[in-house]
Amino acid sequence: MFIEERHKLILEHLEKNGSITTNDIMEQYGVSYDTAKRDLRILDEKGLLKRTHGGALPLHQVAVGRPPKMTIKDITSVKENYYQIALKAVSMIKNNDVIFLSSATVCYFMAQNLPADMHLKIVTNSIVIAEELRTKDNISVIMLGGEMDHKGNCYDAIAMDTIRKLRFDKSFITSAFISAEFGLSIQKTFAISFYDAVLTSSKKVIGLYPKEKIGFDSVVSICPAESLDIMITDWDASETDLTAFDEKGIEIIIVEEPDKNPPDTE
């Protein structure tokens, strides 16, 4: 197979599947590890994809980042990196913390895995997350009110007014994308004031960013990247992007890929 043909197939795989690993390239096209890495480097230098630690992601046009609609019915499959980021975030919570959870899939996974031996107060603008927490005896929930959108989330002036009357030990947030230059970004302007209120009310702001969201820009910047105190990401995030965040003084936490073949303990 000619290199040009292989590169075309790699880009087609990216468009169809949303990511590709060096192992995918090795197995599908019968090439060595070094060749697979070189293929990705060449395509990255041509501006045709974005390399990550173990593979590549497709380049996004501005404004394509739209979080999936989060309903209990729709959350049936778990992306492993989202889940591991959520577990790491949960491990940072302490007894009696007042926590804000944004309306995001990764925060829903946090809600599912909050410890039963801690007393917590959780504030959220998501009816889906509030419903998940409703029956947990050790957790007190403040559901931000206001006009609810079709995804079950509240962002309006009523929700913001409530936030301004609260203080959070830790806020866990995310957005469509994040880059060192453009910061946290979304598609529409309506949530800018909401996030401003969350940031102002938070002692510590923790961003939850899987590799798919890093190094890209949507249309509207919510706030600079350095508004985050900590960013939790996964094992396959771009080292170049993470270095840029580190230079802005953001603490970077990288979760490890879970062992898919754990040793036999019997």
46 and 120 inside one domain: no
* Cα–Cα distance for residue pair 17/197, rounded to 1 Å: 37
CATH code, domain carrying 112: 3.40.50.1360
Non-local CB neighbours of 136 within 8 Å, separated by 6+ positions? 114, 116
149 and 41 inside one domain: no
pLDDT of residue 103: 93
- Summarize pLDDT for 113-152 with one digit per residue, the tens: 999 999 999 999 999 999 999 999 999 999 998 999 988 9
127 and 232 inside one domain: yes
Rounded to an integer, the average pLDDT of 9-33 is 88
Inside any domain, residue 67: no
Q: Which two tokens stand for residue 230?
A: 């900590």
Tally of domains within the chain: 2
pLDDT of residue 46: 84
49 and 86 inside one domain: no
Q: Which two tokens stand for residue 175?
A: 């957005």
Prediction pTM value: 0.81
* Cα–Cα distance for residue pair 102/172, rounded to 1 Å: 6
CA distances from 162 to 81, 100, 132, 165 (A): 32, 12, 21, 5
The Cβ of residue 74 has, within 10 Å, a number of other Cβ atoms equal to: 11
Rounded to an integer, the average pLDDT of 29-39 is 90
pLDDT of residue 19: 83
Question: For residue 72, is pLDDT > 50?
Answer: no
151 and 215 inside one domain: yes
- Summarize pLDDT for 81-118 with one digit per residue, the tens: 999 999 999 999 999 999 999 999 999 999 999 999 99
pLDDT of residue 258: 84
Rounded to an integer, the average pLDDT of 68-77 is 46
146 and 22 inside one domain: no
206 and 141 inside one domain: yes
- Summarize pLDDT for 154-209 with one digit per residue, the tens: 999 999 999 999 999 999 999 999 999 999 999 888 889 999 999 999 999 999 99
95 and 19 inside one domain: no
Question: For residue 65, is pLDDT > 60?
Answer: no
Q: What percent of the chain clears pLDDT 70, i.e. is strictly above it?
A: 90
Rounded to an integer, the average pLDDT of 57-80 is 56
16 and 139 inside one domain: no
Q: Which domain holds residue 35?
A: 3-58
Rounded (5°) CA angle 81-181-151: 50
91 and 214 inside one domain: yes
Inside any domain, residue 99: yes
Structure-token match 């490890």, residue found: 256
CA distances from 17 to 8, 11, 64, 83 (A): 14, 10, 16, 19
Inside any domain, residue 37: yes
* Cα–Cα distance for residue pair 89/106, rounded to 1 Å: 10
Can you name the residues that pair with 124 across neighbouring β-strands?
101, 143
CATH code, domain carrying 46: 1.10.10.10
